[in-house]
Amino acid sequence: MSGMTLSAASLYDRVQRVIPAIEWPVFSDDIDAILKLKRERNAVILAHNYQTPEIFHCVADIVGDSLALARKAMEVEADVIVLAGVHFMAETAKLLNPSKTVLIPDMRAGCSLADSITPQDIRLLRQRYPGVPVVTYVNTSAAVKAESDICCTSGNAKAVVESLGVPRVLMLPDEYLAQNIAKQTDVEIIAWKGHCEVHERFTPEDIREMRAAHPGVTVLAHPECPPEVVAEADFAGSTAAMSDYVGREKPASVVLVTECSMSDNVAVEHPDVEFIRPCNLCPHMKRITLGNIRSALERNEHAVTIDPTVAARARLAVERMLAV
Ligand code: 13P
Ligand code: SF4
């Protein structure tokens, strides 16, 4: 989105299927202010697929899954990147484009997976499994990435694991992602015990109940869900892969077994598809609002910084992933 000729009034059409008209006045002032601030500050907004539709469809310049946001962050030429997502995403953007000011509107936007593992845990695992490469999910701190051989996302985990040409890898910290990938490859995968607090709550019974209530519904699940849940789904993939699936297959009705805002964002693009919406909210993603994006740009808050020695090593792990 260029932002040059847009205004909140002209943007409402885009989201009117998912934002009631009565709610729009709450957003429009912030949207106009953000569009203006982006021009003044030469800033771009990168938004994850779990951001609310008024952010995703009305102020973001670049949207996508974790992998796409990392790739696109590297190419940003603007002076300022506002990351509408969680802290590890902002850190990844800073790692890949260190000369830019990278802002996260709320420093508390964390992630249960990132919180589940420390650099010291990885050092201990290396002692326990000498010579076994460490593949780290991007949903981790830069300090954890710095202890890793290579990163992965849900969009490229299998390719990353297989690119190493070894019989065994440690894949951290998401136990369920590791188990789901293990089913697709001959590489032995040693997992950690971290979980996404949003996806771990879905159960196989949830899926069976959805199918019973909505016969014929297509079920797409994120691979952070437990393997028993993925086994009940028609397809599992990253947030971008789920979105692409809807665009490609155009199911009559679909349920996205993932964070709530994803369905709103994809529904905007596909008016002919019926979205069934049992979902779980990510409290971290929901910390980002139009209000704090606006104040991030007004006050230059909160700039992401990474210790240079940590950054150099963490960048290597992310760049190795991007080279796969
Ligand atoms: P994607 O990489 O599939 O976008 O998902 C990551 C995630 O759960 C972000 O919280
Ligand atoms: Fe972390 Fe899960 Fe939230 Fe993604 S959805 S940021 S993995 S807690």
- Chunked in runs of 10, what are the mean pLDDT values of the chain (324 residues)? 70 94 95 98 98 98 97 98 98 98 98 98 98 98 98 97 98 98 98 98 98 98 98 98 98 98 96 93 98 98 98 98 97
Spatial separation of the C-alpha atoms in residues 284 and 147, rounded to whole Å? 25
Cβ neighbours for 323, distance < 8 A, ≥ 6 positions apart: none
SS3 of residue 134 by DSSP: strand
CA of 197 to the centre of ligand 2 (A): 7
What is the predicted pLDDT for the residue at 2? 46
From the list 201, 268, 203, 252, the residue with the least C-alpha distance to 230 is 203
CA of 174 to the centre of ligand 2 (A): 11
* Ligand in nearest proximity to the CA of 86: 2
**CA dist 93 to 38, 69, 77, 163, 324, Å?**
18, 8, 12, 24, 18
CA of 91 to the centre of ligand 1 (A): 15
Mutating to test ligand 2, I would choose from 282, 286, 287 the residue with most ligand atoms within 8 A of its C-beta, which is 282
- β-sheet bridge partners, residue 169: 189
Cβ neighbours for 90, distance < 8 A, ≥ 6 positions apart: 83, 102, 103, 104, 304
- Write out the two tokens for 93: 């953007």
Tell me which architecture the domain covering 199-276 has in CATH: 3-Layer(aba) Sandwich (3.40)
Strands 168-172 and 218-221: unpaired
For 114-196, the fitting CATH number among 3.90.79.10, 3.40.50.2300, 3.40.50.10800, 3.40.50.150 is: 3.40.50.10800
Is 8-110+285-299 CATH 3.40.50.10800? yes
What is the predicted pLDDT for the residue at 6? 80
Confidence (pTM): 0.96
Which ligand 2 atom sits nearest the alpha carbon of residue 109?
A: 6
Give the DSSP letter of residue 285.
G
Residue ranges of the chain that CATH labels 3.40.50.10800: 8-110+285-299, 114-196, 199-276
Which ligand 2 atom sits nearest the alpha carbon of residue 112?
A: 8
Which ligand 2 atom sits nearest the alpha carbon of residue 174?
A: 7
